[in-house]
């Protein structure tokens, strides 16, 4: 029987909810492009409930315990004395979410002698040292597409809030003001601006589709080019390199995975090549941007605004400079964990576990590493190596 160790974020400060603002969720037929929704044999949770926090348990307990497996759920994930690190040595399966990542570093892999499967409840397995997973023959899988549309909606929201100066204007209302000039002196229309995405995968393409009706000029760069028909439909210009693209854009949105190729891509040099007063929105991964270069660019005016929901490490230490830098619209890592997204990725985790315990293959589109190599979706979008260095700093959040 297997031991499943699951790391989830804490319940709300007022306790696990008894009620929700809405009844149920809209039903979807599938993902854009034809990928089917997660398809476990059955589920033991109510879609629309909070599943991603400790008490939600991703709706897995009944399913696992019925089969004699044991489930340990904790939010205590950082440092050598954490519950996660104590339970790790005899865990067969680890489940973690990017929003509250249990960093599976090479050191932790060395302690996890029994570990065979690491599931990311969501998308983005950079909190796992993929090189170590490859070397130890551990399978890594994520729930591809489960929250891609959720993130693309968040990106559009953040672009509009930066360009139109929404958050500071809302702040004036809360403070009892009516300071129209203060609000308007940093507020523009998005119409006519050049907007570019770094990567046009599931999220990047969904962002382009959602922005098209705003009458902007669209751009993208990616390792693989979109089909000509899609480029034409969206009226989007391809750039072979990121430098060439950022030079012409007023707004840049980052939608690539974090892997050794993209780590610290947005450093002083690249930000310096952007138009003065450009906006940068990063909902991909914090480490794709150089933390201090972003702060410098906002202070100098090279960037007019920065927004996103991804930080490094997570949770961000209390004194992380992105909490206090000027002209930012940061949130905690939430874009991919709406109640809608949680229902999909909880079902996806269950689907993967059903396959694993019944010795059936996991869908190719969910695989990142298998059999000692990048596999499936991972082979397409990631590169081997480690992007978890420095994760230990997450323990500073507690201090």
Residue 343 DSSP symbol: H
Q: How far is the CB of 225 from ligand NDP (least distance, A)?
A: 8
Tally of CB atoms within 10 A around 197: 31
Q: How far is the CB of 303 from ligand NDP (least distance, A)?
A: 20
Q: What tokens were used for 268?
A: 């002083």
- Long-range interactions of 33-42: CB distance < 8 A, separation 24+: 33/202, 35/144, 35/145, 35/365, 37/344, 37/347, 38/143, 38/146, 38/344, 38/345, 38/347, 38/348, 38/350, 38/351, 39/347, 39/351, 40/347, 40/350, 40/351, 40/354, 41/354
- C-alpha–C-alpha distance, residues 43 and 271, integer Å: 46
The answer for 5, left when phi > 0, alpha when psi is -120 to 50, beta otherwise, is beta
Q: Among residues 243 and 268, whose Cβ is nearest to ligand NDP?
A: 243
Q: Among residues 132 and 258, whose Cβ is nearest to ligand NDP?
A: 258
List the Cα angle 330/255/282 in 5-degree steps.
15
Q: How far is the CB of 298 from ligand NDP (least distance, A)?
A: 20
Per the CB < 8 A criterion, the answer to whether 4 and 64 are in contact is yes
Residues 6+ apart with CB under 8 A from 29: 37
Q: Among residues 243 and 261, whose Cβ is nearest to ligand NDP?
A: 261
Given 108, 333, 344, 363, the catalytic residue = 333
Q: Among residues 109 and 382, whose Cβ is nearest to ligand NDP?
A: 382
Given 219, 285, 344, 363, the catalytic residue = 285
Sheet with 93-96, strands from edge to edge, namely 70-74, 3-7, 93-96, 117-120, 139-142, 367-370, 373-374
List the Cα angle 201/247/331 in 5-degree steps.
55
Tell me if residue 285 is catalytic.
Answer: yes
- C-alpha–C-alpha distance, residues 211 and 195, integer Å: 9
Tell me if residue 264 is catalytic.
Answer: no
Q: How far is the CB of 81 from ligand NDP (least distance, A)?
A: 28
Structural element, H or E, at residue 192: none
Q: Which residue is nearest to ligand NDP (CB)?
A: 201
Q: How far is the CB of 359 from ligand NDP (least distance, A)?
A: 27
Which residue ranges make up the site for ligand NDP (CB under 6 A)?
122-124, 147-148, 151, 198-204, 221-224, 255-258, 261-262, 283-285, 309-310, 333, 335-336, 377, 380-381
Given 165, 255, 314, 342, the catalytic residue = 314
Q: Among residues 91 and 271, whose Cβ is nearest to ligand NDP?
A: 271
Q: Among residues 64 and 102, whose Cβ is nearest to ligand NDP?
A: 102
Q: Among residues 161 and 255, whose Cβ is nearest to ligand NDP?
A: 255
Given 49, 127, 131, 147, the catalytic residue = 147
- C-alpha–C-alpha distance, residues 376 and 380, integer Å: 7
Which residues are catalytically annotated? 147, 285, 314, 333
């Amino acid at each position: 029987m297997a031991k499943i160790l699951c790391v989830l974020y804490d319940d709300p400060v007022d306790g696990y909810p008894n009620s929700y603002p809405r009844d149920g969720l809209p039903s979807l037929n599938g993902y854009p492009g034809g990928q089917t929704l997660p398809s476990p044999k059955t589920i033991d949770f109510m879609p629309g409930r909070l599943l991603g926090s400790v008490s939600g348990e991703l709706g897995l307990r009944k399913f696992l315990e019925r089969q004699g497996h044991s489930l340990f759920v904790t939010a205590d994930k950082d440092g050598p004395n954490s519950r996660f690190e104590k339970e790790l040595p005899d865990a067969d399966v680890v489940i973690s979410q990017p929003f509250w990542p249990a960093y599976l570093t090479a050191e932790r892999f060395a302690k996890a002698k029994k570990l065979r499967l690491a599931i990311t409840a969501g998308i983005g397995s950079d909190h796992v040292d993929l090189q170590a997973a490859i070397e130890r023959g551990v399978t890594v899988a994520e729930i591809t597409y489960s929250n891609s549309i959720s993130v693309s909606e968040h990106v559009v929201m953040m672009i509009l809030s930066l360009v139109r100066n929404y958050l500071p204007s809302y702040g004036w209302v809360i403070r009892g003001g009516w300071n129209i000039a203060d609000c308007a002196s940093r507020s523009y229309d998005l119409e006519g601006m050049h907007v570019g995405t770094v990567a046009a995968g599931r999220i990047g393409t969904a962002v382009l589709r959602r922005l098209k009706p705003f009458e902007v000029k669209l751009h993208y760069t990616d390792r693989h080019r979109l089909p000509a028909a899609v480029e034409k439909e969206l009226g989007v210009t391809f750039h072979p390199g990121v430098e060439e693209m950022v030079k012409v854009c007023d707004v840049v949105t980052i939608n690539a995975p974090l892997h050794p190729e993209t780590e610290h891509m947005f450093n002083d040099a690249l930000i310096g090549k952007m138009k003065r007063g450009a906006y940068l929105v990063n909902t991909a991964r914090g480490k794709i941007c150089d933390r201090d270069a972003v702060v410098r660019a906002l202070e100098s005016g090279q960037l007019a605004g920065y927004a996103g929901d991804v930080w490094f490490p997570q949770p961000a230490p209390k004194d992380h400079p992105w909490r206090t830098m000027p002209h930012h619209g940061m949130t905690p890592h939430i874009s991919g964990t709406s109640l809608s997204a949680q229902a999909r990725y909880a079902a996806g985790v269950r689907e993967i576990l059903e396959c694993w315990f019944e010795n059936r293959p996991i869908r190719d589109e969910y695989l990142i590493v298998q059999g000692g190599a990048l596999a499936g979706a991972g082979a397409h979008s990631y590169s081997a190596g480690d992007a978890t260095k420095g994760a230990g700093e997450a323990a500073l959040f507690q201090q």
